[in-house]
């Protein structure tokens, strides 16, 4: 067991105008991710969180542009798969449909629509709906790997929910990507996980669950064979992680596991909604079949910071590859437990 949760407390002193210029101090906490060793800064920055935004106007405007993902449009305007990839023109599962992404991010790039509704509020995603979207996405990735017998590809399923999180189309949709070049972060976690296993003769993911269970500060709970926790060194203002226990690749996830994950995800989205968030980024990172890596997901809400609606992404993220947050993961976990228990 070699998991360390390292915190560095940096103290800044200043003469505070609010205290008639008497000396005051403030703490910046720098947390080191136990796997990647990347740092995150936890700031004690008082923000009065804004009330929920009315999304009616933005949804209406998006319909004026026309939506290619609404049910009456999909057949006419979305592409079909070439026969060498799958015998199906588009992959369907319940109300979910997967088709090629005409604006690809890598050799294999697809879009999954999983709701007939153009807009779905964050707290209203039913687990069955999410499961069908993930099952259809998985079928695409499994077809991709079967059609490309070369080296294992990097597989991910991703979601930008709402424009604030980078989604250019409001209609809920996942993006599924496979290619020979993983993203910087995906490559890093695979390499770090392999290095951990070689050094410790154990799985980082099994050790992480064991250690977080022992500490009881950030482990939200379990839904079936998925374990939910709030990351010690978040990759966004809040970072909720779901680990598929013992599952090596996305293609290995069973339908019942997808249902467990979808129940947890639906509950986590209700938690974020209760905090006034209305957009998020999500990624599911697949292993490539090696025993050391367990497939897992990360969920990060996105926000505009009051009072000026400042972006939650600034030079730290763009130019320093560093994350800032004002939310203490342990406090978020305490709140999240009630939601996951009801999943």
161: enclosing H helix or E strand: strand 154-161
- Complex with Zn ion: residue 133 or 179, whichever CB lies closer: 133
Torsion, Cα 259 220 35 189, to 10 degrees, reads: 20
How many residues touch Zn ion under the rule CB under 5 A: the total is 5
Q: Report the nearest approach of Zn ion to the CB of residue 269 (Å).
A: 19
Alpha-carbon distance of 245 to 222, in angstroms, equals 10
| Among positions 70, 123, 305, 326, the unique one binding Zn ion when judged by CB under 5 A | 70
Q: Does 69 bind Zn ion (CB under 5 A)?
A: yes
Q: Does 67 bind Zn ion (CB under 5 A)?
A: yes
Q: Does 263 bind Zn ion (CB under 5 A)?
A: no
Question: One symbol per residue from 157 to 176: x for binding Zn ion (CB under 5 A), - otherwise; what is it?
Answer: --------------x-----
- Complex with Zn ion: residue 119 or 278, whichever CB lies closer: 119
Q: Report the nearest approach of Zn ion to the CB of residue 171 (Å).
A: 3
Alpha-carbon distance of 318 to 167, in angstroms, equals 18
Interface segment toward Zn ion; rule CB under 5 A; list 66-74, 78-86, 121-129, 326-334: 66-74
Residues 287-306 that bind Zn ion (CB under 5 A): none
100: enclosing H helix or E strand: strand 96-100
Alpha-carbon distance of 269 to 284, in angstroms, equals 16
Q: Report the nearest approach of Zn ion to the CB of residue 177 (Å).
A: 22
Q: Report the nearest approach of Zn ion to the CB of residue 111 (Å).
A: 12
Q: Report the nearest approach of Zn ion to the CB of residue 72 (Å).
A: 9
Nearest Cα to Cα of residue 202 among 296, 295, 291: 291
**DSSP per residue over 190-205, as a string?**
HHHHHHHHHHHSS-HH
Q: Report the nearest approach of Zn ion to the CB of residue 107 (Å).
A: 27
Residues 18-57 that bind Zn ion (CB under 5 A): none
Question: One symbol per residue from 171 to 200: x for binding Zn ion (CB under 5 A), - otherwise; what is it?
Answer: x-----------------------------
Q: Does 74 bind Zn ion (CB under 5 A)?
A: no
Residues 101-120 that bind Zn ion (CB under 5 A): 118
Alpha-carbon distance of 90 to 71, in angstroms, equals 13
Q: Report the nearest approach of Zn ion to the CB of residue 123 (Å).
A: 19
Q: Does 208 bind Zn ion (CB under 5 A)?
A: no
Pairing type for strands 240-244 and 219-223 reads unpaired
Q: Report the nearest approach of Zn ion to the CB of residue 78 (Å).
A: 12
Angle between helices 255-274 and 329-341 (to 10 degrees): 120
Who's near 69: CB < 8 A, 6+ residues apart? Answer: 78, 111, 113, 118, 169, 171, 173
Nearest Cα to Cα of residue 42 among 274, 213, 231, 282: 231
Alpha-carbon distance of 294 to 57, in angstroms, equals 41
- Complex with Zn ion: residue 67 or 303, whichever CB lies closer: 67
Distance, first Cα to last Cα, the chain: 30
Residues lying near Zn ion in the complex (CB under 5 A) are found at 67, 69-70, 118, 171
């Amino acid at each position: 067991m070699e998991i360390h949760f390292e915190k560095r407390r940096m103290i800044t002193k200043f003469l505070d105008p609010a205290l008639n210029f008497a000396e005051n101090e403030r703490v910046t906490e720098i947390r080191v991710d136990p796997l990647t060793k990347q740092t995150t800064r936890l700031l004690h920055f008082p923000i009065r969180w804004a009330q929920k935004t009315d999304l009616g106007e933005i949804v209406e405007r998006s319909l004026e542009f026309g939506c290619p993902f609404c049910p009456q449009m999909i057949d006419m305007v979305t592409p079909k798969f070439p026969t060498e990839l799958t015998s199906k023109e588009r992959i369907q599962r319940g109300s979910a449909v997967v088709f090629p992404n005409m604006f690809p991010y890598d050799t294999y790039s697809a879009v999954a629509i999983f709701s007939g509704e153009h807009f779905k509020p964050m707290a209203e995603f039913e687990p069955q709906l999410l499961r069908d979207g993930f099952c259809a996405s998985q079928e695409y990735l499994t077809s991709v790997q079967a059609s490309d017998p070369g080296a294992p590809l990097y597989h991910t399923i991703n979601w930008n929910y709402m424009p604030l999180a980078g989604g250019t189309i409001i209609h809920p949709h996942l993006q599924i990507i496979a290619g020979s070049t993983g993203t910087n972060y995906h490559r890093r976690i695979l390499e770090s996980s392999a290095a951990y296993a070689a050094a410790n003769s154990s799985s980082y993911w099994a050790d992480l669950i064991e250690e977080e269970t022992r500490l009881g500060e950030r482990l939200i709970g379990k839904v079936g064979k998925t374990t939910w926790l709030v990351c010690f060194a978040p990759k966004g203002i809040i970072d909720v992680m779901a680990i598929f226990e013992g599952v090596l690749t996305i293609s290995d996830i069973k339908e019942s596991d997808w249902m467990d994950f979808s129940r947890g995800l639906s509950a986590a989205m209700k938690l974020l909604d209760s905090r006034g968030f209305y957009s998020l980024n999500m990624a599911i990172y697949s292993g490539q079949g090696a025993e050391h890596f367990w497939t897992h997901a990360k969920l990060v809400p996105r926000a505009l910071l009051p009072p000026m609606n400042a972006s939650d992404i600034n030079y730290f993220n763009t130019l320093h590859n560093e994350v800032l947050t004002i939310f203490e993961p342990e406090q978020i976990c305490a709140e999240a437990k009630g939601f996951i228990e009801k999943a």
